[in-house]
Amino acid sequence: MTTLKGPGIFLAQFMGDEAPFNDLKTICEWSKNLGFAGVQLPTWDARCIDLQKAAESKTYCDELKGTINACGLEITELSTHLQGQLIAVNPAYDVLFDGFAPEPLRNNPKARTEWAVQQLKYAAKASQNLGLNAHGTFSGALLWHTMYPWPQRPAGLVETGFTELANRWLPILNYFDECGVDVCYEIHPGEDLHDGISYEMFLEKVNNHARACLLYDPSHFVLQCLNYLEYIDNYHERIRMFHVKDAEFNPTGKQGVYGGYQSWIDRAGRFRSLGDGQVDFKSIFSKLAQYNFKGWAVMEWECALKHPIDGATEGAKFIKEHIIHVTEKAFDDFAGTGADENLNRLVLGLQ
Q: What CATH number is given to the structural domain containing 309?
A: 3.20.20.150
pLDDT at 342: 87
* pLDDT of amino acid 340: 82
Provide the Cα torsion 72, 77, 80, 84; round to 10°.
-170
Number of domains in the chain: 1
Angle subtended by helix axes 157-179 and 109-130, to nearest 10? 40
pLDDT at 333: 72
- Say which residues have a Cβ less than 8 Å from residue 222's Cβ, sequence separation at least 6: 228, 247, 248, 249, 269, 277, 278, 279
The secondary structure of residue 105, as a DSSP letter, is G
Tell me phi and psi for residue 32, to 5 degrees: -60, -40
Contact 246, 219 (CB under 8 A): yes
- Domain of residue 191, residue span: 5-347
**Residue 10 and residue 301: Cα distance in Å, rounded?**
8
Q: Mark out the alpha helices in the chain (DSSP H runs).
A: 24-34, 51-56, 58-69, 81-85, 94-97, 109-130, 157-179, 196-205, 219-222, 228-235, 281-290, 308-322, 341-347
| Residue 149 Cα distances to 46, 65, 143, angstroms | 40, 48, 11
pLDDT mean values, one per 10 residues, the chain (351 residues): 96 97 98 98 98 98 98 98 98 97 97 98 98 98 97 98 98 98 98 98 98 99 98 98 98 98 98 98 98 98 97 98 90 72 88 75
Other CB atoms within 10 Å distance of the CB of residue 159:
11
